[in-house]
Structure 1
């Protein structure tokens, strides 16, 4: 029997698994069974798990409820996030742009990272975001897009990076006028367990921080996961 990975004929029998003969390849070390059965979860179960995830439950919490391994659910979230753009397309250019940063961490609490979020003062939803440190280099990638909008005003919390990009006459530093962006950041923390404050859930990689954010923004705008799977 040929190895399914390298197509080598140098294989040996290697015990049994669930009543089926197992084989091992001498060349690549792959272990496999004869005539494997591909198992998959029903689409309805997958969508239910994803909705639970997008409504504040952590991966291991969903595992305890559904008895589906958390790595399987994590793969579903990653697959969905990789299919989606960073944010749903927005046709209206904001007259007033609000900018803020949301702090989280990757791997451990010493490895801090920020989610920079951009919103339209007059409309709900995050229209632009990026992940990085709190330096000017991280904001620069956003500013290249934002400056083309020629918004009437840019509202921030006064972080020292902003004056290096925004002209003083266009820059309003006022927490009172940041209710929209603060609210959107609160929604991110509310709906994603990995962004909760004082939580045991956390992101182990940058990829697994970005994919859930993309997926959540799609879900909050369209209120469905059916179009993804």
Structure 2
């Protein structure tokens, strides 16, 4: 007689996994006595399969739209949007040296996308550390001094040597004059990062039919990309 070990999809244990009845679809259910969670190995709907959420996010981070993901994974757009709603990305990194006497250089810039229609623009403000090639913090809002101040509040914990920006007036009024360097020559690297964001995320592409209808989802998807590629690698 062949015996198949069933591993818990939550804690990976195999010893204390027992049968736990059947689902309405007729598929066998199991329960792990170690973590006290139930699970199935087979599902009628692909959206319930283990790992589907992570596949959705990875495809989004590589330029796939909601309907693209639905067609490839054979799930509904509603399931894809549901995965976006569960995201909770941070807005600032945790540098290992943020409490030390280390001076930071920030290149700062902003880029726009839209929510619902191009009349409702949504701006991403962020700070880039050129020596580490990482985004350090970001903020969303209108292209205004208020959004810039929100970003600067998230940067307040760091010891800044100087800021590099273009000649947009709010930068001049909000940043200390003795630490502020103005000129496109000093923001070339963050401008290149803008291109990376537009390439990887359809929502930030200049010419796209892929856009968010919800500010919450818009901010979470872009924030998740920044978190995965910049905040989690220090």
TM-score by length of 1: 0.73
**Cα distance, 1:147 vs structure 2:** 4.7
Q: Which runs of 5+ in 1 are unaligned?
A: 1-17, 20-36, 224-229
The more displaced of 50-59 and 148-157 is: 148-157
Whole-angstrom CA distance in 2 between matches of 1:49 and 1:133: 28
| 1:76 has 2:86 as partner | no
> Which residue number in structure 2 is paired with residue 125 of structure 1?
134
- The answer to whether the 8 Å contact 1:126/1:184 transfers is no
CA contact (8 A) 2:92 2:154 kept: no
| 1:149-228 superposed matches below 5 A | 149-221=158-230, 222=232
Instruction: Say yes or no: does 1:106 pair with 2:115.
Output: yes
Is the CA contact 2:126–2:151 (under 8 Å) kept in the aligned structure 1?
no
Provide the C-alpha distance between the structure 2 equivalents of 1:218 and 1:148, rounded to a whole number of angstroms: 18
* Inter-CA distance 217–152: structure 2 relative to 1 (3 Å threshold): same
Q: CA RMSD in A?
A: 2.5
Find the partner of 2:91 among 79, 86, 89.
Answer: 86
**Structure 2 residue runs without a partner (length 5+):** 1-23, 26-42
C-alpha distance in 1 between matches for 2:181 and 2:225: 29
Residue pair 1:103, 1:112 contacting (<8 A) in 2 also: yes
Distance in 2 (CA, whole Å) between partners of 1:175 and 1:75 is: 40
Under a length normalisation based on structure 2, what TM-score does the superposition of the two structures give?
A: 0.71
Number of positions where the alignment pairs a residue of Structure 1 with one of Structure 2: 187
Q: Which runs of 4+ in 1 moved over 6 A?
A: none
Tell me, yes or no, if the aligned pair for 1:155 and 1:173 is still in contact at 8 Å. yes
1:165-207 CA-to-partner distances (Å, cap 9, x unmatched) read 1132221112122133223322222221111111001111210
Q: Once the 2 structures are TM-superposed, how far is the Cα of residue 38 of structure 1 from its aligned partner?
A: 9.6
